[in-house]
Amino acid sequence: MLESAGSSTEPREPAITRENVTAKPIDAHEPWMRGLHADTGYLLYRLGLRSGQLFNACLQESGLRLRHYAVLRFLAGTDGAPQRELSTRLGYDPSAIVGLVDDLEKLGFAERRPSPDDRRSRIVVLTDSGRDFLRDTDEAGLRVTGELLGPLDPAERELLHALLLRIAEEGLN
């Protein structure tokens, strides 16, 4: 577990199990459904929540949470970034980054290195161990995604991914 500075014992499992995340099916013809999901934005919000829950459920056995994962994912594409960049790019508060990197460092997934240019900034790099972890959890991620995208066939999934990506390109964090 990781509890960085908190140095505590039990992180108190968030009780997000597959069972209570996966809820009862929905009939789109019920009136309340029409009311709820009328708007694409709101729909996106709800589904994002659900996706996050599923992801977290997968991650929690490794003691990490989505934010850690986000940092790792980011690092995987940059080979080394100062914390400041993590903050702005991922949209987390600088003080949040500190704890996240602490945790990752404690698990050996990342490490801080002094910047050659600027002595106040510290560059976070992904370790081999971190890269392994990332590859392993990618499978879990795909499993989750498969679960989430259940009713869609491969072509539709591809389409959805493309659409979402287009939206994301337009200013995400």
Q: How far is the CB of 127 from DNA (least distance, A)?
A: 16
* Contact range with DNA by CB under 7 A, out of 40-48, 70-78, 82-90, 129-137: 82-90
Tokens 């698990």 locate to: 107
Length of the chain: 173
Residue 137 amino acid letter:
T
* Contact range with DNA by CB under 7 A, out of 98-106, 127-135, 139-147, 159-167: 98-106
Q: Does 144 bind its own copies (CB under 8 A)?
A: yes
Distance CA 22, CA 6 (A): 31
For residue 122, give the 3-state DSSP assignment: strand
DSSP 38: S
Residues 105-134 contacting its own copies, CB under 8 A: none
Q: Which does 37 bind (CB under 5 to 8 A by kind): its own copies, DNA, none?
A: its own copies
Bridge partners of residue 82, in order along the sequence: 123
Q: Does 3 bind DNA (CB under 7 A)?
A: yes
Contact string 21-60 vs DNA (x = CB under 7 A): ----------------------------------------
Q: Which does 148 bind (CB under 5 to 8 A by kind): its own copies, DNA, none?
A: its own copies
* 100 CB burial (10 A radius; 0-12, 13-18, 19+): buried
Bridge partners of residue 123, in order along the sequence: 82, 113
Say how many C-beta atoms besides its own lie within 10 A of residue 7's C-beta.
6
Q: Does 169 bind its own copies (CB under 8 A)?
A: yes
Binding site for DNA (CB under 7 A): 1-16, 65, 67, 82-84, 87, 92-98, 101-102, 112, 117-123
